[in-house]
Structure 1
Amino acid sequence: LAALGMSWLQPVIVGGGRVRVSSGTLRRSALARRRIAAAQVRGSVGSLREQLNAPPDSAATLGSAATVDCAATLVGRPAGRPDPAELARRRAAYRADLADGLDRFFERPRSTCPWCGGGELSTRLLGRDVAQGKPGEFRYDRCAGCGHVFQNPRLSLDGLEFYYRDFYDGLGATALEEVFGFSPEPYLDRARQAIPTPRNWLDVGGGHGHFCNVARTVWPGTRFDALDIGAGIEEAARRRWVDHAYRGFFPELAAEVKGRYDIISMFHYLEHTRDPRAELDAAAAVLEPGGHLLIEVPNPDSPAARLYGALWPGWLIPQHQHLMPAANVAAALQERGFAVQETRFGEVHQKGDPVMALYGLLQRLAPSPSAAWRTTAVPRRARAVRALTAAALVPAFAGGLVLDEVSRPYLTSGSRANAYRILARRL
């Protein structure tokens, strides 16, 4: 109440007698300054009512509808929704996939470390997919010899297709576009490297091209190309956010791009790959002496990984298949003819761990019943439970924002950051 009163009087307090505020303006100020917020509340309530009243297979029950509608409400534009026929088709495809069971989505477990070959393994964590809420339990093992953490058993090619589907593209494209386009600052920080002006830059794992589009403001004379396996990379080329798009696997395209680039970047890419060492082999083959390789990945040794457990967004279960300590990556680069110029933690730390962990908790406690891959006996009741659970977690989300800021000085000191970045030069 005190904060509300101070907010109401803020125009008079700020003016300090230098700016005249009439009594009528003062009476109306509290409401006038909150019209946008009121409109957002009305939009959120309307969206929730629409989802609660919608039939299970309607477009209003899109799996990521709550996230998309929330983001669209906050930025003041309507959320994109798929065609109902397309949504129904995807639901049928998911039902057919799940009818065959989950076993085919996994390879056989391995008994040795894929990084160093050591045989002393222990279970690091068991987790579930909380980003999308798709079924399955995933085990991550840690090698006692080198500290490498890896998914064991790892996903098969069919499994990768199933768990990636509708995350970066398809039904999840709109929500991810909001996330990737939220702020240019991380992209600017990645682009500002102490290197000679590059003529040609290849961003491997370039996604929808957000980094390349922003990095042009740092290096306006540089050509930015990008490579990825998803359809988003073709959208990046259509938008002209990248000069050229390669769609495929980097090791398979290495011969085609050999010698063309001064610098190759891999931002949160290696952890997604089936064999990170093969990706480093490809980078060494593509870059000429004097070229640079820039890598950024989650830090499995961060206190955040222990604090949030399987809900830590750095795991991104099950998409992340390998999490490598910084020393492992640096040593592997040196073995391949690179000189490591800098290993940076600190400002590489990414905001949002507490909030994303709470979102994962929401997904675990009350998964979205409207997701195309879920079948719920009483969808309306399940949607009500999810809405009530989300409402109950609102204070925790607010606390998470505070915790994120309070813990930042600790996590950005030393090597505690939730991510690290390595800049290496090809010898």
Structure 2
Amino acid sequence: MTPREKRSRGRLAGRDSATRARRETVAALREEYGAALADGPQAFFEPLRHSCPWCGSVRIGGHLLTGDLIQHKPGRFRVERCHSCGHLFQNPRLNARGLDFYYRDFYDGLGEQQLDAMFAGRTRSYRRRAASVRPHLVRPGLGGVKRWLDVGTGHGHFCEAARTLLPEVVFDGLDRSEGVEVAERRGRVERGLRGGLTELAGELAGAYDAVSLFHYLEHCTDPLRELEAARTSLRPGGLLVVEVPDPESRYAHLLGRWWLPWLQPQHLHLLPVGNLRGALSDQGFTVLAEQHRTAHEPVDLVAAVWLALEGAVPRDDMPWLVPTGPARRALRGAALLAGVPALAAAALLDHAVAPFADRLGLCNAYRLVARRD
């Protein structure tokens, strides 16, 4: 047997072993998920709200009704819009039990390897974030940023990439998942803090020159409290960097439920930029920069096509889904193969449009850089 044949056989054996291990894990989890769903998805929600959680107005109305388009866990989720301030929010909102259920096996467990690989492949985006903040890092009379806390850091990939542009900065990471402990072990962050920002803000008071909330606020039950906690963690004159999906993007209307940043049921709040600017001002921040083009990721069209294909024939090797057998898997493979031309065309169009996304109102995210006064 040639060395090449040995390597090929070794790769096949490795894939077979991983497949068997996944099947065993899924089989073991089926009973647990069955028990969690015994009362039905309705047990995962708080009571329905009748006013806007941002401004208190009762002028709210239905905007979007969708399911879980990523994991295909059971349940229907409604996003409502406030007709007074434009805030969008999940209503009824997931309760603690629901958050645990829908986050489980997404960023860790069954989904950990896939998500880690996806985030690891976004180095250019992370470097772009760091570069966009760099002009604001030197504070007149106060020196430069020395210590930075990345909240919702996951496995610390942003910190690892940003350090190549900002070698003088020490990065710490904070997250509720065990990924932050992985980040510390792998040297991506100096310290990995496990928990929530609002719970840890007291012991972190005044400890940081910069705090980043990259695609974090939309996951939080109370974004205003998170901003308060971020302010507490900053030294006077420190920088806060917030990046969130832009619900005012035209893609949100053009693509409807297939617009990836809706990300139900995880995204509890979607904040128009005017609302977030106002909240930062109210909490004692001065906004130094508002960035749309550099926060945009050219994935809207290709993600919409992928979500539609996934929705047509979802994978069945998930412990919350009924196994359907080899015929269904063959159908899924054929559907995905048939969708390759559409995926390729959508990806090309995403990148062709990206340079003009800001002018066309298509940016799917925005970033604010603010200074604590």
Q: Is the aligned partner of 1:177 residue 2:116?
A: yes
Residues 370 and 379 of structure 1 are in contact (CA less than 8 Å); yes or no, is this contact kept in structure 2? no
Q: Please name the residue that 2:326 is paired with.
A: 380
Residues 23 and 317 of structure 2 are in contact (CA less than 8 Å); yes or no, is this contact kept in structure 1? no
Matches within 5 A, 1:208-227: 208-227=155-174
Shift of 1:59: 6.4
Residues 209 and 226 of structure 1 are in contact (CA less than 8 Å); yes or no, is this contact kept in structure 2? yes
SS of the equivalent of 2:367 reads strand
Matches within 5 A, 1:21-40: none
Q: Is the aligned partner of 1:397 residue 2:343?
A: yes
Q: Please name the residue that 2:279 is paired with.
A: 332
Output the amino acid matched with 1:379.
G
Match of 2:201 among 246, 254, 257: 254
SS of the equivalent of 1:139 reads strand
Residues 341 and 425 of structure 1 are in contact (CA less than 8 Å); yes or no, is this contact kept in structure 2? yes
Q: Is the aligned partner of 1:412 residue 2:358?
A: yes
Q: TM-score, normalised by structure 1?
A: 0.80
Match of 1:161 among 96, 100, 106: 100
Residues 352 and 401 of structure 1 are in contact (CA less than 8 Å); yes or no, is this contact kept in structure 2? yes
Shift of 1:345: 0.5
SS of the equivalent of 2:184 reads helix
Matches within 5 A, 1:20-419: 60=19, 82=21, 84-192=23-131, 193=133, 194=135, 195-196=137-138, 197-376=144-323, 378-413=324-359, 415-419=361-365
Output the amino acid matched with 1:424.
A
Distance 2:179 2:30 in 1: 22
Task: Report how many aligned residue pairs link the two structures.
Answer: 356
Residues 294 and 422 of structure 1 are in contact (CA less than 8 Å); yes or no, is this contact kept in structure 2? yes
Q: 1:410 to 1:226 in 2, by over 3 A?
A: same
Q: TM-score, normalised by structure 2?
A: 0.91
Shift of 1:240: 1.2
CA RMSD of aligned residues (A): 2.0
Distance 1:191 1:122 in 2: 38
Distance 1:84 1:143 in 2: 44
Residues 271 and 323 of structure 1 are in contact (CA less than 8 Å); yes or no, is this contact kept in structure 2? yes
SS of the equivalent of 2:148 reads strand
Shift of 1:402: 2.0
- The worse-fitting range, judged by mean Cα deviation, of 358-367 and 81-90 is 81-90
Shift of 1:414: 6.4
Shift of 1:83: 5.7
Deviations 1:174-204 (A, max 9, x none): 1111110113111111112212131100001
Distance 1:164 1:286 in 2: 26
Q: Is the aligned partner of 1:426 residue 2:366?
A: no
Deviations 1:245-286 (A, max 9, x none): 111110110001011100000000000001101101111222
Distance 1:414 1:225 in 2: 37
Distance 2:18 2:48 in 1: 39
- The worse-fitting range, judged by mean Cα deviation, of 96-105 and 291-300 is 96-105
Distance 1:115 1:241 in 2: 35
Q: Please name the residue that 1:76 is paired with.
A: none
Q: Percent identical across equivalent pairs?
A: 45
Shift of 1:412: 2.7
Output the amino acid matched with 1:296.
E
Distance 2:122 2:218 in 1: 23
Residues 338 and 425 of structure 1 are in contact (CA less than 8 Å); yes or no, is this contact kept in structure 2? yes
Output the amino acid matched with 1:391.
L
Runs of 5+ consecutive residues of structure 2 not aligned to the other structure: 139-143
SS of the equivalent of 2:51 reads coil
Residues 245 and 364 of structure 2 are in contact (CA less than 8 Å); yes or no, is this contact kept in structure 1? yes
Distance 1:209 1:375 in 2: 35
Distance 2:34 2:371 in 1: 48
Residues 304 and 353 of structure 1 are in contact (CA less than 8 Å); yes or no, is this contact kept in structure 2? yes
Distance 1:83 1:416 in 2: 39
Shift of 1:82: 4.0
Shift of 1:84: 4.9
Q: 1:270 to 1:219 in 2, by over 3 A?
A: same
Residues 129 and 294 of structure 2 are in contact (CA less than 8 Å); yes or no, is this contact kept in structure 1? no
